[in-house]
Amino acid sequence: MPRVAVVTDSTADLPIALCHRYGITVVPMSIEHDGQFLDDKPELALTIARSSTSERLRVYHPPPSRFVETYRQLGKAHEAIVSIHLSQRLSGTLHSALEASRAVSGQVAVRVLDSGSVSMGLGFVALRAAQAALAGASLGEVVASAQLAAESVSVFFLLGSTGPLRQRRRIGWAAGLLTDVLGIRPLLTMSEGVVVPVTRAWARPHGISQLYELATEFPRIERLAVIRSPELRETELDALLWSICPPTRRLETTFSAALMSWFGPEAVGMAIDASMGGSEEETDGDVDALATSLDRNRQHG
């Protein structure tokens, strides 16, 4: 059992299997759908994708009480917790986690981190932290691993429309109107914790090609993820990206219901982890190597 537990939120878009494999605890966003408040889980995202109601959703960050419950439960088996979340400039999730960490300060040590990102940009940071925890890292070492990963991760989104983002004030009204009127597909990224435009594509195939071109600009790709709606298939993008990244270093995942409400059901995302380390399919070797590195650093520290 690792000394340090890793927590994130459902906007990380991490596949359930990876969360189980690395012991990552996911606190779900709350989704108001058809008058009901539901946890943001994969089965909900699938239901919403099939019903085409993503733009009518209302998303709420988890209340502090949800984090308090999670931290107290994890504190029974772990010495400390690292809680990593989407950019505080996109959601109040980080503030809820901070409030909860203060509420449990006498019971378990909790460090709350802002990834500055979202989707698998956040997911890769949580994954790197969990790898360090499994390797026996201390609280400070897990935090350092997460912070290093946050500096090495990039995420991009190709949208079908800016409508959902404009409705939720995640992108400028004028820029969104122009792209929608002209039928342009916006290509976005995260910068300083906010969603910003990279470029514009005149059609979806052009946007797919631009995603590929962005990927080829990275001198090193440690991991690559493609994120999409549960009902969307993008074989052209798969073929292009998979040609530059071996199977052991890539994964496919789906947008959470929360992010589908922001980006729309036609969006596709690409996340790249350019940090050093092994792939998610090489867990044992990667964790062993990280443990050796941590021991070496302690001896020289």
197, β-bridge pairs: 188
| Residue 215: half-sphere exposure toward Cβ, Cα within 13 Å | 29
Please state which of the ranges 67-71, 199-203, 207-211, 241-245 shows the lowest mean pLDDT.
Answer: 199-203
Instruction: Please list the alpha-helical segments (H only) found in the chain.
Output: 16-22, 42-51, 64-75, 93-103, 120-134, 139-152, 163-167, 173-182, 204-216, 235-242, 257-263, 283-300
Geometric angle at alpha carbon 266, from 38 and 163, rounded to 5° = 80
The 10s digit of each residue's pLDDT in 28-60 is 999 987 788 999 998 888 877 776 655 567 899
Judge whether residue 136 has pLDDT over 80.
Answer: yes
Q: How much is the average pLDDT of 75-102?
A: 98
Q: Which residue has the higher pLDDT, 165 or 188?
A: 188
DSSP string, 201-249: ESSHHHHHHHHHHHHHT-S--SEEEEEE-TT---HHHHHHHHTTS-GGG
Q: Which residue has the higher pLDDT, 271 or 204?
A: 271
Q: Which of 82, 74, 84, 133 is nearest to 107 (CA)?
A: 74
Geometric angle at alpha carbon 223, from 215 and 188, rounded to 5° = 45
Residue 19 CA, chain-centre distance (Å), reads 12
Q: To the nearest 10°, report the CA torsion of 226, 231, 237, 242.
A: 50
Geometric angle at alpha carbon 33, from 27 and 36, rounded to 5° = 80
SS3 for 172? coil
Judge whether residue 81 has pLDDT over 50.
Answer: yes
Geometric angle at alpha carbon 242, from 241 and 246, rounded to 5° = 130
Please state which of the ranges 1-5, 191-195, 260-264 shows the lowest mean pLDDT.
Answer: 260-264
Q: What are the structural domains, with CATH classification, of the chain?
A: 154-273 (3.30.1180.10)
> CB–CB of 114/101 below 8 Å?
no
pTM of the model: 0.87
Tokens of 160: 């079908």
